[in-house]
Amino acid sequence: MDEQVAQETPKLGFGLMRLPRRGLGIDVAQVSRMVDLFLEAGFTYFDTAYTYHGYHGEEAVGRAVAKCGVPREELFIVTKLWVQDASYEGAKAAI
């Protein structure tokens, strides 16, 4: 990893594994409030993955971040890929 990038990467992240629920879905309004508070505290690193809530968790955070007023290039949003079949074919299919 480039030394400058390593120094600029925030050390504390907003983990999105367990987002607040509303009924069967994600409480997007609550997620927006949480994102706003996180950003107001000066943090910019978001950690998510498709497997946390299916696409819905990433979508909820994307919607919250889109209306927060912070330019996208100032945020660190990290996602991960879950590959059950670690073969080349399995990884390619997951991507």
Q: Residues 45, 52, 55, 88: which is the catalytic one?
A: 52
52 belongs to the catalytic site: yes
Beta strands at 21-22 and 25-26: parallel, antiparallel or unpaired: antiparallel
What does the block give as tokens for 88?
């080349």
Task: Please report how many Cα atoms fall inside a 13 Å half-sphere around the Cα of residue 54, on the Cβ side.
Answer: 4
Residue 41: closest CA among 16, 68, 23, 66: 68
Amino acid making up residue 16: L
Q: Which residues have a catalytic role annotated? A: 52
